[in-house]
């Protein structure tokens, strides 16, 4: 396991400076994140990313593709606005994910990740099958591009997520569907303890976010994200469990704030994760 850092970008981002900053921190791994659809058609940005990755010796482990349209990160409006669940947004967001797969191919990244949304726990809910159809389409697209499609954890329970993956595998075959496990999201959404979740879907984990958070305190709002080591993710137990199940990928730090405080928290997170991985 290595420790990486998540980089969000648009066409206006000085990507060379972002990679230089990673190198200065002693980081040689990252996930790249984009929520801006026009950027996915920007060949100049794809070229700049490729040049920067080679120049600084950085490995991009995944491309995290966002989607356009209204999005509210809570337990009420989130049901109506997030991922591929809302029928009003599904077609255009699926197209954007397809474009994201093609962009990932241009930058030679083989894992495409996203939030699918509040997937119903009831497999007989009509929306479950509707979303599964969309997921199968993007999985097939990723297969054509030599990629894996990764569900980012958060809005669904571990059992629901595992069922969805297995139902997709029945239709398109095994091998290129997996999970980008964000342990903080499982806690912030009140869905699971991440250490226990590895018992459910550990064999599908292909990527991990290094993030921390607290459990929700009401039925409307997510729990708070906090600096790594200050939340409810038991990182010593989590890293130990990852070693036990044989996970050999990277852990990519995500801190959803900006500025100097973000940089300070990232450095602190890297020190903690490096220490735990070395034990």
Mean pLDDT of 20-47: 96
Per-residue pLDDT, 96 = 98
pLDDT of residue 86: 96
- In the block, residue with structure tokens 């959803």: 256
- Predicted local confidence at residue 119, as pLDDT: 95
Average pLDDT over residues 188-204: 97
Task: Dig out the tokens for 276 from the structure.
Answer: 């735990």
- Model pLDDT for residues 125-164, shown as the tens digit of each residue: 999 999 999 999 999 999 999 999 999 999 999 999 999 9
Contact, 239 vs 276, CB < 8 A?
Answer: yes
In the chain, the domains with their CATH numbers are 3-278 (3.20.20.150)
3-state secondary structure the chain: CCEEEEEECCCCCCHHHHHHHHHHCCCCEEEEEECCHHHHHCHHHHHHHHHHHHHHCCEEEEEEECCCCCCCCECCHHHHHCCCCCHHHHHHHHHHHHHHHHHHHHCCCCEEEECCCCCCCCCCCHHHHHHHHHHHHHHHHHHHCCCEEEEECCCCCHHHHHHHHHHHHHHHCCCCEEEEECHHHHHHCCCCCHHHHHHHHHHHEEEEEECEECCCCCCCECCCEECCCCCCCCHHHHHHHHHHHCCCCCEEECCCCCHHHHHHHHHHHHHHHHHHHHC
Residue 149: per-residue pLDDT: 98
Q: If pLDDT is split at 50, 70 and 90, which confidence band does 38 have?
A: very high
Model confidence at 227, in pLDDT bands (50, 70, 90)? very high
Average model confidence (pLDDT) across the chain: 97
pLDDT of residue 170: 95
């Amino acid at each position: 396991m290595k420790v990486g850092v998540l980089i969000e970008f648009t066409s206006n981002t000085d990507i060379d400076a972002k990679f230089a900053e990673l190198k200065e921190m002693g980081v040689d791994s990252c996930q790249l994140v984009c929520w801006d659809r026009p950027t996915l058609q920007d060949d100049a940005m794809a070229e700049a990313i490729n040049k920067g990755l080679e120049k600084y010796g950085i490995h991009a482990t995944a491309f995290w593709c966002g989607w356009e349209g209204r999005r509210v990160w809570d337990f009420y409006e989130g049901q109506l606005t997030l991922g591929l669940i809302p029928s009003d947004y599904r077609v255009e967001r699926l197209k954007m994910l397809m474009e994201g797969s093609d962009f990932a191919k241009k930058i030679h990244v083989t894992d495409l990740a996203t939030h699918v949304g509040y997937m119903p726990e009831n497999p007989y809910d009509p929306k479950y099958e509707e979303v599964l159809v969309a997921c199968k389409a993007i999985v097939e697209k990723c297969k054509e591009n030599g990629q894996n499609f990764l569900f980012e954890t958060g809005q669904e329970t571990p059992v629901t997520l595992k069922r969805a993956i297995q139902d997709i595998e029945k239709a398109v075959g095994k091998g290129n569907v997996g999970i980008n496990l964000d342990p903080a999201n499982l806690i912030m959404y009140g869905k699971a303890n991440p250490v226990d979740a590895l018992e459910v879907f550990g064999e599908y984990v292909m990527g991990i976010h290094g993030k921390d958070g607290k459990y929700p305190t009401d039925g409307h709002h997510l729990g708070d994200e906090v600096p790594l080591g200050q939340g409810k993710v038991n990182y010593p137990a989590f890293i130990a469990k990852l070693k036990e199940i044989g996970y050999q990928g990277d852990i990519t730090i995500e801190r959803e704030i900006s500025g100097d405080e973000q940089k300070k928290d990232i450095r602190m997170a890297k020190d903690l994760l490096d220490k735990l991985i070395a034990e």
